[in-house]
A and B are shown apart, each in its own frame.
Chain A
Amino acid sequence: GQQVMQIPQYQHVQEGEDFTTYCNSSTTLSNIQWYKQRPGGHPVFLIQLVKSGEVKKQKRLTFQFGEAKKNSSLHITATQTTDVGTYFCAGLNQAGTALIFGKGTTLSVSS
């Protein structure tokens, strides 16, 4: 079945350092979404990418969708302690009926 893999599983950075998480799908995706889950919280929708090669920015966050629409990345510039949490990517399954979530990258930031 369709799988969405995320790496790394965990990442610890010093405040001010950059952070990147990568998402790879076994099949071509119609779109990809990113969610953030704070410790003890629920996933919160961040963004959706649809077009091949698309790049979107939200303040210090940069999201990219690969040319082949099989991979994506989230890059955070100059991390802050408020960035801690688990970042999930999610791709639409081939039937177009459900999101397949990666297992997430958990980011911790020390000041």
Chain B
Amino acid sequence: DSGVTQTPKHLITATGQRVTLRCSPRSGDLSVYWYQQSLDQGLQFLIQYYNGEERAKGNILERFSAQQFPDLHSELNLSSLELGDSALYFCASSPRDLPYEQYFGPGTRLTVT
């Protein structure tokens, strides 16, 4: 158990819909990272937040957005869902003094039908 929690574990929804994935980082970690993992694209970095502020952006679609709240939990919002958005979405957090040593949560498996 990495100490990072993610909910829900599974999500099934229809095309065009909007979903919100939630992540709580390890206690004391200020950074939260979101990744998308699909079979053909591997593990793709989406976005990073540090202490409530966006720190870096990766291959995140405009239909996707995220935020980090004052209590440091983060939410990833996916809208106008397409079949190709079906994937595992991981959240990770990192320690203050080891910023790139990332601890991954169990992931949310999103299925878009």
Contacts and interface: CB of A to CB of B under 8 A. Distances in A.
A43 interface: yes
Nearest to B56: A97
A105 to B, nearest CB: 11
> Looking at chain B's contact residues, is the secondary structure mostly helix, strand, loop, or mixed?
strand
Contact of B2 (A42, A48, A97, A101): A42
Interface residues of A, number: 20
A104 B42 CA distance: 8
A100 interface: yes
A78 B58 CA distance: 38
Nearest to A31: B100
Contacts of A42: 2, 90, 104-107
B11 interface: no
Interface of A: 31, 33, 35, 41-45, 48, 88, 92, 95, 97-104
